[in-house]
Structures are given as C-alpha cells and as structure tokens.
Amino acid sequence: MSKPQSQPPVIVLVRPQLGENIGKAARAMLNFGLVEMRLVTPRDGWPNPQAGPAASGADIVLEQAKVYESVSDAVADCAQVYATTVRKRGVTKPVVTPEEAAREIHADTVGRAAFLFGPERSGLETDDVAIARKIVTVPINPEFGSLNLAQAVILIAYEWSKGIELAQPPEVELPEVAPQGELDGMIGQLEDMLENAGFFFPPDRTPASKRTLRTLLTKPGWSSQEVRTLRGVLSTLARPRQR
C-alpha cells in the first residue's frame, strides 16, 4: 500500500497590512496547491475589498481564510510551526531551508505544519518567532534582503509543491510542419527571384551560395555566416545589381 500524503501546510499571515498583499499571497498559494490561509489581526480588518482583485481568481483561499486574535491561537492545532525570517531575531532555533522544511512535512514526521509570515514592513517580531519550532530562511543578498509577502509565500509553496503531483500547464498546440515539397517550392521561388536580382555572383559561387541558403532556411539555429547570407539576400532584393 502506498503511504498516504501528509496534510498540506497552513499559511499564517501575521498582522498583514494591505488587503492587496493578502490577495497576492492567496494567488501564490493556490498556484502551488495550498488553500488554507489564516490571518492574525489583519490591520485593515477582514474581509478586505482589495484582496479579491489582487488574488486573480484565487477566491477559494480568501473565502476560507480564518481570522485569529493571536499567533498562538492560529497555530494551536499544528505540531510543527516554522517562522519565515531572514534573521534569527535573537532567538535560538534550528534553521532550515524551505526545501528541508518541505521534506520534513512530506515525510509526515511533524504532524500538521504551519508557516508564519510577518507584516510587510517589519517582518515577524521576536515573540512571534519564539512560538515557532524552527526558522525557515533562504540564502539571500546580504545587502538587499527584501522579499515582499507574496514572494516569500511562493518560495515556501513552490518547495512544498515539488513533493506532490500537480498538473502541468496545457501544451501550446504548434502549427503543422510544412511538408518538404512546400519548403522546396518556397526555396525554388526565392532562388529564381535572387537569380533575377543578380544575387548569385560570381557564377562559380552559385552552388555554394544556394547550399548555404537552403541550410539557413531548413534549420532552427542560424550561424553567423547564415545571418550574413540572409542580410545579403535582403540587401540584394532592396538594391538589385545592374546587369
């Protein structure tokens, strides 16, 4: 028997400031299969009319979002709580990457898990981090460690999603490839036009020039020589040689 999948983690936004950012976080979550959002005392209350448009269709996340008075209340049912922060904030906790946290959750060794995300301007406070069991952080430019809320959420959601089966985006249907006869007809037409324009000069270079032209028109990647040949074609058609 296959092992049952672990429960998806909860995303907890602690004192989020803007409804728009809550909506963007919801969008990031749903892109990677997460739907349970919990809000701790959002600054502008909840529901927030700015969240819906920013969520771009992730309405299920917003509709099911629950509001809590404290971080402790929001994670009371969670056996593992991760605080997302670029700094340890003076609290001694084990530090893991998003990938390591995702592996722990999928291994089902932690019970229900939650990720804490702090307010947009200040991040998590020391007391918030103290509630967590572990800190999650990513290597980041030490001179500019500024992720917005949705970016931080998407890092976590993406790493978690790698352990589940998500449907791939539908492939774009490519146009039908032209049969060789059509391609030969086009090349022949172009060669006739170039003959009339005086492109194939001197005459002893005609076979080599035609081979280069055919190679150029029948391969996806162009060499520098092929690009120069095509530029010569265009220049000749623009200013035919006087014969």
List b or e across 139-171, with b for residues whose CB sees 16 or more CB atoms inside 10 angstroms: eeeeeeeebebbebbbbbbebbbeeeeeeeeee
Residue 102, pLDDT > 70, answer yes
N residues, the chain:
243
Domain residue ranges in the chain: 10-161, 180-238
pLDDT of residue 57: 94
Contact 66, 38 (CB under 8 A): yes
- Among the ranges 81-90, 92-101, 183-192, which has the highest mean pLDDT value? 92-101
Q: Which CATH superfamily is domain 10-161 in?
A: SPOUT methyltransferase, trefoil knot domain (3.40.1280.10)
Angle at 43 between CA 155 and CA 84, to 5 degrees: 25
103/109 Cα distance (integer angstroms): 9
Q: pLDDT > 90: what percent of the chain?
A: 52
Least confident of 5-14, 111-120, 229-238: 229-238
141 backbone dihedrals φ, ψ, rounded to 5°:
-55, 115
pLDDT in tens, 113-150: 999 999 988 889 999 999 999 999 988 887 887 789 99
3-state SS, residue 44: coil
3-state SS, residue 67: strand
Average pLDDT over residues 216-243: 72
Burial class (CB in 10 A: 0-12, 13-18, 19+), 58: buried
Model pTM score: 0.70
pLDDT of residue 241: 66
